[in-house]
Amino acid sequence: MARQKHDERLHDRKFVRTFFTSPTAVEGEEDSATMIRSAAGLSGMQAPDVWVPDNEDATAPSMRDEGARNIIEVVSEEGADFPGEIHPRIVWFRGDPGTRHQCLTHLMEIADPDNGAIQHIDGFVIPEVGDIDDWKKADEVLTIVENEYDLEEGEIAMSVIVESGAAELAMGELRDEMGKPTNNLERLFMLVIGEVDYTKDMRAITPTGNLPSWPEVRHNTSRAASAAGLISVDGPYDDIRDVEGYRERMVDNQAKGLLGIWSLTPGQVVEANTNPLPPETSRWRMDTGGRTVDLEDDDGVQVYDGNRVSLEESDDEYTLRVGGDEQVLDEEDLREELLGIVEYVPSMDDIVDSMEEFEEAREGGTGAIAMERATTVRIDGVEVEVSNDRMWDEATYQAAMTPVSLFQDVYEHRPDQHDELAEMYSEDVVERAMDVGGA
Ligand code: GLV
């Protein structure tokens, strides 16, 4: 493996939106591999970026030997056609040599090239790691397996589930440890949060028994991934019917740079594949006192049509009510006030427009330009013009590039999603988005 600076990405994929687990063996089914067999057939927006045949928590301990054999059977048959990467999760436990031995046994079986599966497997997911020495043990097991089968050292990627305080602290040591000649930790690919087991490990209690949302672990994982050139992925959102909650979690994660998330169901896969991509259409929205609502576009005028905000005009004065708060304002103060509660969500088309505008200015020798956003807002029939200027410099441009880079990574690696993306954005926008940023 090429030695690079650790904060440069070392793997093919720069982004992983979806990490989808499926049980490897289900007792009582005619075909115990039924779940992974159907997952292997997914494509388009329904197929995850990373598929994880899960021979750990999703599979009963008594079924895991059979699960390892099922992985071999299904991946050897279907792996070549699967559009995402394949990273099975195998057993491991920081405090238990017996489980680590089972890891070695399963790996020797799954990675044996004669069984035909390893050719389609990109890496393995190691759960329940502890401190950095434990990560190195797992890495060493993979090195032994590579050695046994004449694979290149470091060729099999390793991702870990961060689900203990020890593992969370170990992430801070990666920059020092990766690249030492005594380990192959540069095989690391994803840092995946396991909030369920983390909650247990931290001995956390909530009145409802629901999981805490652990914003600190999510921040720490994103930071560690950035520092070590890895990809961070949030853990399972177990309230699987709560689609709105899953979306809110993703928006919160994305603001931390945690762009991937676990998906437990095919429905969650579609949500999580789509959510981090910029929207197809732009919109204005308004904070109506704790709740943000989209404004309705009426021929370029943005209309608020609810009852949490009201506006009256009389004798050059305006009475604005937001929630329980009432203010009497002149026109200029009203504009200011509205600017504080109205915001613009750009579409992919808009983002690309702004980037092209900046690139043009930069080529012409200008390093910073003001980008104006203006519209007319209508509340209770009263129309007010609002506009703001945002200063764009090189740093703004680079930060705005992240969603576009994500799109470019998806487009490059997921040809099976091209039709859906073209339908979403139009061919023209797709083409321009692929072009921007010198890609
Ligand atoms: C997953 O392994 C979790 O503990 O959330």
For residues 73, 415, 6, 51, the Cα torsion angle rounded to the nearest 10 degrees is -30
Mutate to test the pocket of ligand 1, among 21, 162, 196 (most ligand atoms within 8 A of CB): 196
pLDDT in the model for residue 4 = 54
The gap from C-alpha 427 to its chain's centroid, in whole angstroms, comes to 25
How would residue 316 be classed by pLDDT, with cut points 50, 70 and 90? confident
Mean pLDDT value across residues 233-239? 95
How would residue 215 be classed by pLDDT, with cut points 50, 70 and 90? very high
Mean pLDDT value across residues 370-380? 94
How would residue 12 be classed by pLDDT, with cut points 50, 70 and 90? confident
Place of tokens 């020890």: 166
Mean pLDDT value across residues 232-250? 96
Mean pLDDT value across residues 275-301? 94
Is residue 174 a contact partner of residue 232, using CB atoms and an 8 Å limit?
no
Q: Which domains does the chain have, with CATH numbers?
A: 18-274 (3.20.20.60), 283-396 (no CATH)
State the distance from the centre of ligand 1 to the C-alpha of 204, rounded, in angstroms.
14
Whether the per-residue pLDDT at 221 is higher than 90: the answer is: yes
Q: Report how far residue 332's alpha carbon sits from residue 328's, in angstroms, rounded to the nearest whole number.
A: 12
Over residues 262-279, the pLDDT tens digits come to 999 999 999 999 999 999
Q: Report how far residue 329's alpha carbon sits from residue 334's, in angstroms, rounded to the nearest whole number.
A: 6
Mean pLDDT value across residues 358-384? 94
pLDDT in the model for residue 323 = 86
Whether the per-residue pLDDT at 1 is higher than 60: the answer is: no
Q: Is the beta carbon of 146 within 6 A of some atom in ligand 1? A: no
Of 66, 101, 235, 86, the residue nearest 167 (C-alpha): 235
Mutate to test the pocket of ligand 1, among 87, 90, 192, 197 (most ligand atoms within 8 A of CB): 197
Q: Is 393 a catalytic residue?
A: yes
Mean pLDDT value across residues 1-8? 56
Q: Which of 8-12, 67-71, 396-400 has the lowest mean pLDDT?
A: 8-12
Mean pLDDT value across residues 230-246? 95
Is residue 382 a contact partner of residue 300, using CB atoms and an 8 Å limit?
no
Whether the per-residue pLDDT at 241 is higher than 60: the answer is: yes
Q: Is the beta carbon of 349 within 6 A of some atom in ligand 1? A: no
> Could you tell me what percent of the chain has a pLDDT over 70?
97
Q: Report how far residue 337's alpha carbon sits from residue 143's, in angstroms, rounded to the nearest whole number.
A: 61
How would residue 142 be classed by pLDDT, with cut points 50, 70 and 90? very high
pLDDT in the model for residue 315 = 87
Instruction: Specify the residue with its C-alpha closest to ligand 1, atom 3.
Output: 194
Mean pLDDT value across residues 103-131? 98
pLDDT in the model for residue 171 = 98
State the distance from the centre of ligand 1 to the C-alpha of 136, rounded, in angstroms.
21
Q: Is the beta carbon of 56 within 6 A of some atom in ligand 1? A: no
Tokens of 222: 């994103």
pLDDT in the model for residue 361 = 94
- Atom index in ligand 1 nearest the CA of residue 127 equals 2
Whether the per-residue pLDDT at 303 is higher than 90: the answer is: yes
pTM of the predicted model over 0.85: yes
Rg (CA), the chain: 25
Instruction: Specify the residue with its C-alpha closest to ligand 1, atom 1.
Output: 194
Q: Is the beta carbon of 194 within 6 A of some atom in ligand 1? A: yes
Instruction: Specify the residue with its C-alpha closest to ligand 1, atom 5.
Output: 194
DSSP secondary structure code for residue 408 in this structure: H
Is residue 162 a contact partner of residue 216, using CB atoms and an 8 Å limit?
no
- Atom index in ligand 1 nearest the CA of residue 57 equals 2
Q: Report how far residue 116's alpha carbon sits from residue 40's, in angstroms, rounded to the nearest whole number.
A: 15
Is residue 296 a contact partner of residue 52, using CB atoms and an 8 Å limit?
no
Q: Report how far residue 216's alpha carbon sits from residue 302's, in angstroms, rounded to the nearest whole number.
A: 37
List the strands of the sheet with 342-345, edge to edge.
Answer: 292-294, 283-287, 342-345
Q: Report how far residue 327's alpha carbon sits from residue 337's, in angstroms, rounded to the nearest whole number.
A: 10
pLDDT in the model for residue 290 = 84
pLDDT in the model for residue 8 = 67
Q: Report how far residue 188's alpha carbon sits from residue 10's, in angstroms, rounded to the nearest whole number.
A: 9
Whether the per-residue pLDDT at 90 is higher than 90: the answer is: yes
Over residues 144-167, the pLDDT tens digits come to 999 999 999 999 999 999 999 999
Mean pLDDT value across residues 379-383? 96
